[in-house]
Amino acid sequence: MKTPTVPGVAELIREALSVYRDDPAAVATLEGYAGRLAEPLRIAVAGMVKAGKSTLLNAIIGEEIAPTDTAECTRIVTWYRFAHSPRITLEPIAGEPRLLPLKRVSGRLVFDLGGARAEDVERLVVEWPSESLRNVTLIDTPGIASLSEDVSARSVRFLTPDDAPSQADAVVYLMRHMHATDLRFLESFKDTEAGRSGTVNAIAVLSRADEIGAGRIDSMLSAGDIAERYRRDPSLRKLALGVVPVAGLLAQSARSMRQSDFESLALLAAMERPERERLLLSADRFLRSGIPEGLTADAREQLLERFGLFGIRLGIVLFRAGFRDPTPLAHELARRSGLDPLLGMLAGQFHARADALKARTALVGVEALLRTSPRVGSGHLAAALERLQVNAHEFRELRLLATLRTTGVPLRHDLAAEAERIIGGDGVAAHIRFGLNPDATAEDIGAAAHQVLHRWRLVAENPLTDRAALEVCRVVVRSCEGVLAESAGLHLHRQPA
């Protein structure tokens, strides 16, 4: 749905630049916000130490570029953004940025900091020619609540700075179990980032989901049950737009499956079942065993490191069920890792709302500037900012979504659930808003939108409807009208000249 939010925000920044033109720091800050509006959306991957952040980031990109399990780099905020040729830049806290060598060790990128200490580095910027980075910049962050206060503090400062918008427009938050620390972080991300706008822009991932059922073949089912429970948990529900279980390691390795991985799985699949089950009882047993013959110690270690016990077990089952070629097997493993629902959610909740999320970040920034460095003559800026926040339909949708999920509204349960869907709670694509299939035609969508519109106009006119619910009616009606206007526009486009 197109509304002039971004041009409105860009105009506001231009006016602010003129008001603050004699304050170089404010000018630099404002130019930064203006630049962000034109950049791809920034999504940070955050979570506690060893939650699987870097592994999941690789899975999302579809290449193994983020280092995992390395001591120094995990302590540095690292940006991954699109460029036609690869380049790694180290930006120190003091001094000039410098390029790092592009080194690969067994197919993986290795960051050679050249003796620099993590605490002296502001950030690393990895430019990479990957299609998945064209419309989004991904940011890997050090683990929060880590033993080192310093590492934790960096992530928290980066994601939830005082008196400024977050460096990220949205966050994918990984947790292995729901911990009080996770909720505290999400709470502060919501408060700081959203400022007064009271919106939600985090997706929670139940990470390393294959380990939840101790790597058993039904682990992802158990993880799905737990995710469902978290989804309904009132404390998490108000902080995250959704909760998805993902086996990131399996997703990462399946997307980059090697011939050697496939051959190892084929050897294991050829074993007698009881013997194989005994072999796979534990990682230790698998590594120490001499069977099957032909599976070298190296290959065992590789396979376990790249797929985990769950991935190995699943790979064997699938191979035996007929996935006898590397490509279809890799696709099926990736499909079962739970990555697709996460990518779908990123597309529906973040990419489709990129403009609104970026515009909101900029508004929070201008608001913080007006608050911390008030100026004579900035009154009209505050008024314009307020108007944008209150009137821009995308913000009204985001705000209402947060209200529906937190305090709730005085509406019948089924109506409240429908409102949540219509305003984009499950994703902003028109068919999702109206609960239709992806192949729904413009006519189907139009018919559904008219029906919903009619129903909500009746709700609005009903004298028994609580006054507090009227704003819901207004937003829902406006969302329907937006979809109808957009499809009318498409129709006009398609008319022969």
Ligand X SMILES: Nc1nc2c(ncn2[C@@H]2O[C@H](COP(=O)(O)OP(=O)(O)OP(=O)(O)O)[C@@H](O)[C@H]2O)c(=O)[nH]1
Residues making contact with Mg ion (CB under 5 A): 53-54, 74
Min dist. Cβ of residue 315 to ligand X (A): 14
Q: From residue 261, how far is each of 256, 307, 457, 461 by CA, in Å?
A: 10, 9, 59, 64
Stretch 202-231 residues interacting with ligand X (CB under 6 A): 208, 210-211
Beta strands, E only, 48-201: 78-82, 87-92, 98-100, 103-105, 108-110, 121-128, 136-140, 170-175
What is the x/- site pattern for ligand X, positions 424-463, by CB under 6 A? ----------------------------------------
DSSP string for 294-345: T--HHHHHHHHHHHHHHHHHHHHHHHHTT--SHHHHHHHHHHHTTHHHHHHH
Min dist. Cβ of residue 114 to ligand X (A): 21
By CB under 6 A, name the one of 40, 165, 242, 248 that touches ligand X: 248
Q: How many other C-beta atoms can be found within 10 angstroms of the C-beta atom of residue 89?
A: 14
DSSP string for 406-437: TT--SS-HHHHHHHHHHTTTT-SSHHHHTT--
Stretch 124-143 residues interacting with ligand X (CB under 6 A): 143
- Verify binding: residue 402, ligand X, rule CB under 6 A: no
What is the x/- site pattern for ligand X, positions 159-198, by CB under 6 A? ----------------------------------------
Which one, 52 or 165, has the nearer CB to Mg ion?
52
Cβ pair 246, 342 in contact under 8 A = yes
Write the single-letter amino acid at 437: N
Stretch 311-350 residues interacting with ligand X (CB under 6 A): none
- Verify binding: residue 54, ligand X, rule CB under 6 A: yes
266 binds, options Mg ion, ligand X, none, Cβ within 5 to 8 A by partner type: none
**β-strands 202-206, 170-175 pairing:** parallel
By CB under 6 A, name the one of 6, 227, 249, 269 that touches ligand X: 249
What is the x/- site pattern for ligand X, positions 279-298, by CB under 6 A? --------------------
Q: From residue 485, how far is each of 7, 329, 437, 471 by CA, in Å?
A: 20, 44, 20, 21
For the sheet containing 202-206, what is the strand order?
Answer: 98-100, 87-92, 121-128, 78-82, 136-140, 41-47, 170-175, 202-206, 243-245
Min dist. Cβ of residue 225 to ligand X (A): 17
Which one, 49 or 352, has the nearer CB to ligand X?
49
Min dist. Cβ of residue 281 to Mg ion (A): 30
Write the single-letter amino acid at 444: D
Beta strands, E only, 63-215: 78-82, 87-92, 98-100, 103-105, 108-110, 121-128, 136-140, 170-175, 202-206
Q: Which residues contact 220 (CB under 8 A, 6 or more apart)?
A: 209, 210, 213, 245, 247, 336, 338
50 binds, options Mg ion, ligand X, none, Cβ within 5 to 8 A by partner type: ligand X
Min dist. Cβ of residue 142 to Mg ion (A): 7
- Verify binding: residue 55, ligand X, rule CB under 6 A: yes
- For residue 215, how far is the Cα from the chain centroid? 25
Min dist. Cβ of residue 49 to ligand X (A): 4
Min dist. Cβ of residue 208 to Mg ion (A): 13
Task: Identify which range of 6-14, 36-44, 66-74, 410-418 contacts ligand X by CB under 6 A.
Answer: 66-74
Min dist. Cβ of residue 186 to Mg ion (A): 19
Which one, 304 or 352, has the nearer CB to ligand X?
304
Q: How far is it, in rounded angstroms, from Cα 9 to Cα 17? A: 12
By CB under 6 A, name the one of 36, 42, 53, 154 that touches ligand X: 53
Counting residues that bind ligand X (by CB under 6 A) gives: 19
Which one, 5 or 58, has the nearer CB to ligand X?
58
- Verify binding: residue 68, ligand X, rule CB under 6 A: yes
Footprint of ligand X on this chain (CB under 6 A)?
47, 49-55, 68-69, 74, 143, 208, 210-211, 247-249, 308
